[in-house]
Amino acid sequence: MAFPKIKIGMVGLGTVGSGVWKILHRHQALLSQRAGAKLEISKVIVRSKKKKRPVRLPAKVLNSNIQTVLDDPEIKLIVEVMGDVRASRQLALKAFRAGKHLVTANKALLALHGKELFQEAKKNRVDICFEAAVGGGIPILRALREGFVGNRIDSLYGILNGTCNYILTEMSERKTSFPETLKQAQKLGYAEADPRFDVGGIDAAHKLAILVSIAHGVFVDFPKIFVEGIQGITPFDLECADRFGFEIKLLAITKKNGDKIQARVHPTMISKDSMLAAVKGVNNAVFLEGDFVGEGMLYGRGAGSEPTASAVVGDIVEVARNILAKVAYTVPPLGTHAAHIGNAAIEPIGEWRGPYYLRFQAIDRPGVLAQIAKILSEFGISISAVHQQVREEGREVPIVVLTHDAQEKSVVKAIAKINRLKNIRRATTLIRIEEFCQ
Ligand SMILES: NC(=O)c1ccc[n+]([C@@H]2O[C@H](COP(=O)([O-])OP(=O)(O)OC[C@H]3O[C@@H](n4cnc5c(N)ncnc54)[C@H](OP(=O)(O)O)[C@@H]3O)[C@@H](O)[C@H]2O)c1
């Protein structure tokens, strides 16, 4: 049976783009049967046509002018895997206005300009799909939009950045420092040359913005998401976590709290017995609680050429099926119909209540712990455990305190006061503890 042909223009042929090219060629027959159409990438846009590529493609396919995919009337679908936010936004808006559908892997683009893009896609009755933007090969967005559609999502916890999870796993298992482990991650290709977006939590926050939108049917003002990276975590913190029965993970968290929505990314202590604690190395996972389905977790490879390309191809097939059926926008991209999506009321982090791990760097003198305890109590914070590993009179030592539930703004004020004590030598480390899925 001859299949109708759907021509695709792909912008970018790097890590993800070459994976997409590979899958579409290796699985050409299979994908034709599944999509009901022959999927052909007829143009690929790159910056440099001379660069060596991991895939071979006909010279006539490669081009360096983005406009050529926009101007080609035979191209109905554009796959954007270039990663430049400004250029991608321009490309997306022009594509929609030219009646072309878009598949993108660009989380920053959606976190920063999602609202504008969704509105423009709807106006022009074209699809915008972005499964690869969150969790790489894990189809979490489709699961939230479709499989879990019967549920209110009460909470969601994601390990969404493989670089951070790799670093924390290695630091915990090998007792290595953050800078040393980061270097190792860069050597192995698990961290970028400029790792600030990853280790600073921004990458995870971009992904969280998309998850919050789909989980709760809201637009998110990205700067309102609280973000803290993993740079301040030490092997000592990981050792203490272990002693108290915890693991430290960089978690992206969203929960509903009445009318307010929590959206935060930060290092988090979680029980060693929880399923998320078992997610090691570069892997990603999303644990969620739906009011009817209960607890569930999706796990897998969150980045890399082939897992990410797998998610892009899933989107390509969805769009191809829609093109054949002459429909678009049948599943709203955020899972909620546009007329019913409001702006999220994000709860400020100061309102968060929970237990804390606090590490004070203090000069070991009689009475220091009593001073710390007194200030914590002034702010209504009660202590559940204290740990001081070494005693070296007159030297700087770490003193660890675990608290019962306390409000973040009180904890921050108490720490500010404690940091001013003359026996406190460095800013205090604060790590939030989450109690779930025990
Ligand atoms: N890598 C992953 O594991 C992963 C996972 C999930 C999502 N993503 C997202 O996928 C997207 C692509 O990531 P990647 O890792 O594949 O990036 P990459 O390896 O750096 O590849 C980017 C590609 O886009 C091309 N390009 C960049 N700017 C361009 C421009 N202004 N005009 C034309 N072509 C341009 C580059 O051309 P040249 O080759 O000529 O330089 C290159 O082929 C990003 O949005 C990223 O966040 C990546």
Pocket flag, ligand 1, residue 304 (CB < 6 Å): yes
- CA 225 – ligand 1 centroid, Å: 25
Q: Read off the pLDDT of residues 47-76 as tens digits, 9 standing for 90 and up.
A: 999 999 999 999 999 999 999 999 999 999
- Of residues 391 and 279, more confidence is placed in 279
Q: Which of 18, 21, 47, 85 to mutate to test the pocket of ligand 1 (most atoms within 8 A of CB)?
A: 47
| Ligand 1 nearest-atom number relative to CA 19 | 16
Beta strands in 36-177 (DSSP E): 38-45, 62-63, 75-80, 101-104, 128-129, 153-159
- CA 82 – ligand 1 centroid, Å: 3
Find tokens 């000069």 and name the residue.
Answer: 363
- CA 386 – ligand 1 centroid, Å: 48
Among protein residues, the one with the nearest Cα to ligand 1's atom 20 is: 14
Token digits of residue 292:
């009817």
Cα–Cα dist 266/58, whole Å: 46
Cα–Cα dist 275/437, whole Å: 7
| Ligand 1 nearest-atom number relative to CA 107 | 47
Beta strands in 128-245 (DSSP E): 128-129, 153-159, 218-219, 226-227
| Ligand 1 nearest-atom number relative to CA 305 | 3
Token digits of residue 263:
């959206």
- CA 17 – ligand 1 centroid, Å: 7
Beta strands in 272-343 (DSSP E): 283-290, 294-301, 342-343
Residue 293: the pLDDT is 98
Is the per-residue pLDDT at 218 higher than 90? yes
Cβ atoms of 17 and 10 within 8 Å: the answer is yes
Pocket flag, ligand 1, residue 47 (CB < 6 Å): yes
| Ligand 1 nearest-atom number relative to CA 12 | 24
Percent helix, strand and coil across the chain, each to the nearest 5: 40, 25, 35
Nearest Cα to 12, choosing from 97, 109, 140? 109
Among protein residues, the one with the nearest Cα to ligand 1's atom 21 is: 14
Cβ atoms of 361 and 398 within 8 Å: the answer is yes
Pocket flag, ligand 1, residue 160 (CB < 6 Å): no
Distances (CA, A) of 215 to 211, 262, 295: 6, 12, 14
Residue 394: the pLDDT is 85
Q: How confident is the model at residue 321 (pLDDT cuts 50, 70, 90)?
A: very high
Token digits of residue 291:
């009011």
Is the per-residue pLDDT at 349 higher than 60? yes
Q: Read off the pLDDT of residues 233-266 as tens digits, 9 standing for 90 and up.
A: 999 999 999 999 999 999 999 999 889 999 999 9
Residue 438: the pLDDT is 47
Pocket flag, ligand 1, residue 438 (CB < 6 Å): no
Residue 437: the pLDDT is 56
Q: Read off the pLDDT of residues 27-47 as tens digits, 9 standing for 90 and up.
A: 999 999 999 999 999 999 999
CA 162 to chain centre: 9
Cα–Cα dist 21/370, whole Å: 64
Token digits of residue 19:
């994976």
What average pLDDT is seen over the chain? Answer: 96
Is the per-residue pLDDT at 344 higher than 70? yes
Pocket flag, ligand 1, residue 87 (CB < 6 Å): yes
CA triple 235-237-238, angle to 5 deg: 65
Residue 347 DSSP one-character state: P
| Ligand 1 nearest-atom number relative to CA 53 | 39
Q: What is the mean pLDDT of residues 217-243?
A: 97
Pocket flag, ligand 1, residue 303 (CB < 6 Å): yes
**Active site (catalytic) residues:** 207
Q: Which of 22, 46, 91, 94 to mutate to test the pocket of ligand 1 (most atoms within 8 A of CB)?
A: 46
Domains of the chain, CATH where assigned: 5-136+305-342 (3.40.50.720), 140-302 (3.30.360.10), 350-433 (3.30.70.260)
**CB count in 10 Å sphere of residue 50:** 7
Pocket flag, ligand 1, residue 9 (CB < 6 Å): no
289: β partners: 155, 295
299: β partners: 285
In the chain, what percentage of residues exceed pLDDT 70? 100
